[in-house]
Structure 1
Amino acid sequence: MPKKKSSLTLKRVFALLLAYVMLCFAGGVVASLALLPAAVAINGTVKATLPSLSVEGIDFDVTSLPQKSRIFASDGKTVIASFYAQNRVVVPIKSISSYMQKAVVAREDKRFFQHKGVDVQGVLRAFVQTYIKKGDTQGGSSLTQQYVKNVLLVQAQEDDDPIAEYHASEDTVARKIREMLIAVQMERKYTKAEILQGYLNIAQFGRNSLYGVEAAAKRYFNVSAKDLNVVQSATIAAITKNPTQYDPSVKANQPEAEKQRNIVLDLMYQQGFITKKQHDEARATPLVKTLDIQDVELNSGCQSAGDAAFFCDYVTNQILNSKEFGKTRAERVRLLNQGGLDIYSTMDVKANAAAMKTARDTIPVNDPSQFEVAIAAIRPGTGEVLGFGINRTYDATDAARDDPTKTAINYAVDQKDGGGMGWPVGSTWKPINMVAWMLAGHSINQYLSTSTVYNISKFKCGQHKFSGYWSVHNADGSTVNPESPFLALVHSHNTTQAAMASVIGLCAIADTAKTMGYENSPEGEEDVYSSNSFNAPMVIGAVQASPLTMANVYATIAAKGVECTPIAMTKVLDAAGNQLKVPSANCHQAIPEDVAQTVAYAMNQGVVRSDGVASVTQLNNKRKTFAKTGTNEENYMLTGGFVPQVASFVAVGNAEYQVDFTGKTINGVTHSTWYGEYIAAPAWKEFMDTYLQSANIAQDNSYGTPATKFTKTSYSTN
């Protein structure tokens, strides 16, 4: 008995519903509201949805649909990665073939061009088939209603509203009534072409979040929606009934997909959309012969970006950290995943490939030592980041937690940009001291008294005072007295760095570092004056910095003293083609050109070309080379350097915690004591030689001319 009662109730609901729909056409929506409460009284769920029957707040503009964003390499063509909540590219109706338009109308709603939003005949047919003949359940939804349902679902997902999402898809009379009401109102506001355009862009046409006819055309046939022929259009139109079961890219689905395609072809012929000849030829064509399946982005985000994944992650963090893309982080995430952005990055495909290869050549991903290699490269005078090298496989899933060969941390960038705590940069800091020394008016050939013990009260500057003594030694435990800053750089002596600080003060060195683009890597401690970095050992590189930061410092020297903030993007277009504001490189003259030229001279003539510690960095074909190596205790090895067109930095060690290199075997080589010139310097050379050759970057050996005022020989006591 209860079952009969339920059946009677449903019949009454549909009877009222039909009367309601007819009144919508006859007397308008307002008049029809008088009848709506009768249906509401029968179904309590309908009553619950009554307040949401207004179309206010529902955006049916096709351009507002979630669209995938793409990150391009610097060539403007290579797609690094795509981001999407739904894999969709919105196209106007004029860019969708007429066959595709006819195929979907034939399949979904043959009276689409006759009804006013609700197909009364279709509803009646569904009612009779489902409740009178007790056949398969049929919905009778018009194409307009289906569009309404999809829009309501998308809006609920965008608003992260699970209740609204449930009501948009629940199998109840309430939902049907709501969709009918909105559909009727829509048809009064929008043309048939606009509604059809909206549907073809919002509907799901396959697995893996494949939405919209343009994405489907590319996926299955490698054509644009405007070029779809009869067979292709029928194939795609058939998918919407069951996107998982009818997806023709799955081999097991193909027999059923062909059957469903043929049903669409039959419908198109019966409704006069194609000729008998077109129908017969299309039906006789095997489905598999029509397919040209493309490996479109089936995974969203950096996870599928391969060796570009670390750069992709850097770009992503630049967007999520920049107010140019939204007031809140949540707004920026939504814009990236749904805004249809075209993001033109600074990544040079050849530079990034060379960096990734070098990192893995230096220490293979699965090397038993498990040491990390991190490389960053930047273009001097522009701030454009060229690429990263990490000897790890990018993996942002839980699988990376217990696998040391995988990570989603880009150890080449600052923590705020998705990196780690940074690397103690050791002696690669020393060119900063030399710049500070010259900015204070001193010559690099001024001989200083040195010691192995310094009263650090002499390092005082401004309001900063220091007390106590600092014991500092060179690598061999001794000192050279007297010694010039030039020779101290050549031999990488620490004691002379301390002597320089005792003359000019620690603030002069800290200010110079900031001027040249330096910042600490740990988030919240970026300022060089933070308590963890602003102390005497700073002058020998006892700081935590990313390879990108240090590459940028060296780029300032390479660019004749012009410092730029590193940038990951040159241009971003929204879905409508409007150009959005992007973070600026803010390039400016940070230090005088003669100072930059002089320190470059010291790095080349002293450190690289003479008996300096970086002689192993000399680049191929006698290209003029500027570099500096470094170590930090027995835990980290580093090398930075540049040519006028490229600056780069290499860090080697354990990025998570200190591990002693002493006696370690790395990539099959064992040393009782490891130095930067053993592994970091050869890695730097390999990257630079590989990239310079592959990118065909011309030699420029004119740089590095010292200023006479900074090379005069003199002696002083301190």
Structure 2
Amino acid sequence: MGVKGDGRDIGRLVGRVIILVRTGLIMGVVVAALALPLAAVVGYGVKASVDQINSQAQSLPDVPPAQTSRVYAADGTTLISQFYEENRTPTPLAQVSPFVAQAIVAAEDSRFYDHHGVDVKGIARAFVTNSRSGQVAQGASTLTMQYVRNVLRQAARTPQELQAATEQTPARKLREMQLAVAVEQRLSKTEILERYLNIVYFGHQAYGIAAASGVYFSKRPAELTLPEAAMLAGLVQAPSAYDPAGDQRAATTRRDYIIDRMASTGQLTRAVADQAKGQPIALRLSEPPSDCGSTAENSWGFFCDLVKSWWMEQPAFGSTPQERLSRLRRGGYRIVTSLDVNLQGSAQRNLTAKEATNSAFAHGLVAIEPGTGRVRAMAVNRVYAVDQSHNGPKVDQQGRPTNTTGTYPNTVNPLLGGGDLPGFQAGSTFKLFTMLAALEAGKPLATSINSPRKYRSNYPAAAGEPASCGNRWCPSNASAAMTGQQTMWSGFGKSVNTYFVQLEQQVGADKAVAMAERLGLRWRTATDKLQASADNAAGWGAFTLGVADTTPLEMANAYATIAADGSYCEPLPVLNITDPDGAPVMSGEKPVDVAAPRCRQVFNPEVARAAVDAARCVTGYGAATSGVCGGWSTAPTVYPTVKRPVAGKTGTTDNNQAAWFVGFSPTLSVASFIADPDNPLHPVGTANLNKPIRSAAETLRDALAGAPARDFAAPAATTAYGPGGKKPGQGRSASPKPTPSKSR
């Protein structure tokens, strides 16, 4: 064909195309011409193409585009992070600058409002161009066909389906055309354009116009100017080639071409077009947070990780972990968490003021709300980051550096709980479980036991156990001042080991282990699982002294249970979760809100109140009855710091390898620890023992400031002293004077 004959050639082709449309055979011929060099079309069976496509589903899959799930703090507005496979926020066309629609139509399909899904004139021109070049030099995809292609990609769930949606074959092109015609019969042009703008890719992980306007210009799509809209429209054809962050000259050339197209189609005057072209591209790039490694505040990363871990365990989001993760990254959920950002900030400051992020010792805490299980803060002196290339070395038991990299300051290990790590030994904080088992068995707080400095127990000594007397385990107290008659009040307040080992013998170590399990503790190491088994739990005498591993999350929640009158609530990091339609996510055979507290009564409220009363002896606040605490305690600075009703328990392990404090009020429970995650045998030393006490007390103080003071309920006389026993005194006021006390 000669150049002079182009117009006649196209006219003849259009006539043939119209005839083929009427006979239903256009698709096979046109697709072959567009997709293959002209010589390759010879022998291609049109009927085969039609039969192949007709054997496939002829309706467009009704699969919603992947949407971004957003995670907010408890205030419902502070964005913590996002989870997405495709960064996308569906946006109505009415909330998009009109320049965007004009620019997209000018750039991709200027006859969009004239055709019915397939542009016959465009196909004819492409046919001629491709026939001359011997290759696909020009396409003829309309916006509707592009929309169809994107939906088919979105619906692909296997590599084979994805290949079928993207392969350059006449069959695939034919199916697109058929589906485009069907879409045009079902949707208006406005609906098609809106859906297109919400599904198309703009580069930089931005899917849809809302994500694109945020990534490139840090603004809402309604605020896009003419030059900005034209630049974004130019990205659709080739996001990498026209990326303004990489090649601004190419991006500008493409933008200006689109502005000229808008002027040539009458959407702009030449003066407006020239003015727009004269403006430089002014980017305000922003990287949207993704997953927990890019939270708005780094200290939120560990809490975000807890949210993700919790999500992965919820059947409401799928039957497998893979399905649940896919829902999180594609489902467009709004997740309002329980994180109090002010309390989190306070906790982080309190911790890092005492232990720097570049310390081998991890110093952290978890704060939980009694009665709901909601996690209010989760902080540690670490940086939530995967890159550990510049981390400090692990150290040996003497604190000397080794040749192995440690987990400080950067780590994503769940040091505070919510993952698979076993945690740390928590020392005497475990005495709570023995005391609860004894109280539940009917023993009153006034149960008196002579407690020597060293005691020969009934429990067998473990192999190599240093605290042994022949074949028996023989624990001792930290101080000679603990010797003598003790009750649960004084034994708990002073942390008298020999009292609690004898109390454990009276009620059974297996009962103490079972109590810990009822309060949410899980055994993760092989040793702990073996010791806690039905065959061995009764002989696990050292359990009461905290030789099992646990996490701050578990311990904060266990103590929150006694603060809540014996109501155990599963740790819960969310307040509410809604789907893209704004409906709450429900779970279970009898559907309940997946974000609702999951609580159950695990023992009588009187048991809880008695345990709280003994725990008041620890903090300097004092029990409901004066004089029963024994005159001194292991954390006497807590009440003067908090200046509110407060209880708790200290805990240290052998050789001071870890130190703990769990403190609580009626409305908040805080568990704090310090230990070396890389080497549990590396002792924190006596100088660090008070750091968990101080950090927990300061965090409780900050959390309760300005809130009405609430006191604990005193136990009944029979719970405190037994049947016919002494009547306890009146409950203490909210601000009593601290009694003289002595630190361990």
Structure-2 change in CA distance of 1:419 and 1:391 (3 Å): farther
Partner of 1:4: none
Q: CA deviation at 1:479?
A: 6.9
Q: Deviations over 1:387-438 (max 9, x none)?
A: 211222222468589552222111111xxx3241122111011223223222
Provide the secondary structure at the position in 2 that maps to 1:386: strand
Does residue 325 of structure 2 align to residue 352 of structure 1? Answer: no
CA-based RMSD: 3.7
Structure-2 change in CA distance of 1:125 and 1:532 (3 Å): farther
Partner of 1:615: 636
Partner Cα distance (2:661, 2:47) in 1: 70
Partner Cα distance (1:183, 1:438) in 2: 73
Partner of 2:207: 211
Structure-2 change in CA distance of 1:56 and 1:571 (3 Å): farther
Asked if 2 retains the 8 angstrom alpha-carbon contact of 1:344 and 1:572, the reply is: yes
Does residue 646 of structure 2 align to residue 625 of structure 1? Answer: yes
Provide the secondary structure at the position in 2 that maps to 1:111: coil
Provide the secondary structure at the position in 2 that maps to 1:648: strand
Partner of 1:604: 616
Asked if 2 retains the 8 angstrom alpha-carbon contact of 1:497 and 1:539, the reply is: yes
Percent identity between the two aligned chains: 29
Matched letter for residue 183 of structure 1: A
Q: CA deviation at 1:42?
A: 4.5
Partner Cα distance (2:458, 2:115) in 1: 92
Structure-2 change in CA distance of 1:105 and 1:564 (3 Å): same
Structure-2 change in CA distance of 1:17 and 1:194 (3 Å): farther
Asked if 2 retains the 8 angstrom alpha-carbon contact of 1:619 and 1:685, the reply is: no
Structure-2 change in CA distance of 1:674 and 1:470 (3 Å): farther
- 1:392 aligns with one of 369, 374, 382: 382
- 1:685 aligns with one of 679, 697, 702: 697
Partner of 2:445: 444
Partner Cα distance (2:259, 2:456) in 1: 90
- Residues matched between the structures, number: 664
Structure-2 change in CA distance of 1:497 and 1:169 (3 Å): same
Structure-2 change in CA distance of 1:122 and 1:495 (3 Å): same
Partner of 1:234: 230
**TM-score, L = length of structure 2:** 0.80
Does residue 257 of structure 2 align to residue 263 of structure 1? Answer: yes
Partner Cα distance (1:675, 1:286) in 2: 58
Q: Deviations over 1:168-196 (max 9, x none)?
A: 43445554444334333433443333322
Matched letter for residue 379 of structure 1: E
Within-5 A mapping of 1:572-651 = 572-581=577-586, 582=594, 584-609=596-621, 610-620=631-641, 622-634=643-655, 635-651=657-673
Partner of 1:199: 196
Does residue 572 of structure 2 align to residue 560 of structure 1? Answer: no
Within-5 A mapping of 1:391-470 = 391-396=381-386, 402=405, 404-405=407-408, 406-413=410-417, 417-450=418-451, 452-456=455-459, 469-470=472-473
Provide the secondary structure at the position in 1 that maps to 2:637: helix
Q: CA deviation at 1:133?
A: 6.3
Partner Cα distance (1:603, 1:184) in 2: 74
Matched letter for residue 239 of structure 1: L
Q: CA deviation at 1:563?
A: 2.1
Asked if 1 retains the 8 angstrom alpha-carbon contact of 2:641 and 2:698, the reply is: no
Q: CA deviation at 1:78?
A: 0.9
Structure-2 change in CA distance of 1:234 and 1:34 (3 Å): closer
Partner of 1:302: 292
Structure-2 change in CA distance of 1:245 and 1:355 (3 Å): farther
Q: CA deviation at 1:528?
A: 5.8
- 2:680 aligns with one of 631, 639, 658: 658
Partner of 1:667: none
Asked if 1 retains the 8 angstrom alpha-carbon contact of 2:61 and 2:152, the reply is: no
Within-5 A mapping of 1:309-328 = 309-328=301-320
Asked if 1 retains the 8 angstrom alpha-carbon contact of 2:423 and 2:549, the reply is: yes
Provide the secondary structure at the position in 1 that maps to 2:332: coil
Matched letter for residue 505 of structure 2: S
Structure-2 change in CA distance of 1:632 and 1:226 (3 Å): same
Partner Cα distance (1:226, 1:710) in 2: 66
Asked if 2 retains the 8 angstrom alpha-carbon contact of 1:380 and 1:559, the reply is: yes
**TM-score, L = length of structure 1:** 0.83
Asked if 1 retains the 8 angstrom alpha-carbon contact of 2:129 and 2:137, the reply is: yes
Structure-2 change in CA distance of 1:707 and 1:236 (3 Å): same
Matched letter for residue 574 of structure 2: M
Provide the secondary structure at the position in 2 that maps to 1:71: strand
- 2:370 aligns with one of 374, 380, 388: 380
Q: CA deviation at 1:19?
A: 9.2
- 2:689 aligns with one of 673, 676, 695: 676
Matched letter for residue 191 of structure 1: S
Asked if 1 retains the 8 angstrom alpha-carbon contact of 2:369 and 2:667, the reply is: yes
Partner of 1:461: none
Matched letter for residue 646 of structure 2: T
Structure-2 change in CA distance of 1:15 and 1:600 (3 Å): farther
Provide the secondary structure at the position in 2 that maps to 1:446: coil
Partner Cα distance (1:697, 1:294) in 2: 42
Q: CA deviation at 1:145?
A: 2.1
Structure-2 change in CA distance of 1:606 and 1:214 (3 Å): closer
Matched letter for residue 112 of structure 2: F
Q: CA deviation at 1:269?
A: 2.0
Structure-2 change in CA distance of 1:42 and 1:177 (3 Å): farther
Q: Deviations over 1:276-327 (max 9, x none)?
A: 4543443344432xx5x25241x52111112211111111111111101111
Partner Cα distance (1:261, 1:315) in 2: 42
Partner Cα distance (1:35, 1:130) in 2: 11
Provide the secondary structure at the position in 2 that maps to 1:454: coil
Gaps of 5+ in 1: 1-13, 458-467, 665-670
Q: CA deviation at 1:371?
A: 2.0
Does residue 340 of structure 2 align to residue 340 of structure 1? Answer: no
Structure-2 change in CA distance of 1:206 and 1:471 (3 Å): same
Provide the secondary structure at the position in 2 that maps to 1:445: coil
Matched letter for residue 327 of structure 2: L
Q: CA deviation at 1:331?
A: 1.4
Structure-2 change in CA distance of 1:26 and 1:525 (3 Å): farther
Q: Deviations over 1:67-92 (max 9, x none)?
A: 11111111101111111111111123
Partner of 1:56: 57
Partner of 1:464: none
Gaps of 5+ in 2: 1-9, 34-39, 392-403, 461-470, 587-593, 622-630, 726-744
Structure-2 change in CA distance of 1:213 and 1:554 (3 Å): same
Partner of 1:5: none
Provide the secondary structure at the position in 1 that maps to 2:117: coil
Asked if 2 retains the 8 angstrom alpha-carbon contact of 1:557 and 1:597, the reply is: yes
Partner of 2:398: none
Structure-2 change in CA distance of 1:70 and 1:376 (3 Å): same
Provide the secondary structure at the position in 2 that maps to 1:376: strand
Provide the secondary structure at the position in 1 that maps to 2:240: coil
Partner of 2:465: none
Structure-2 change in CA distance of 1:436 and 1:135 (3 Å): closer
Provide the secondary structure at the position in 2 that maps to 1:687: helix
Partner of 1:709: 718
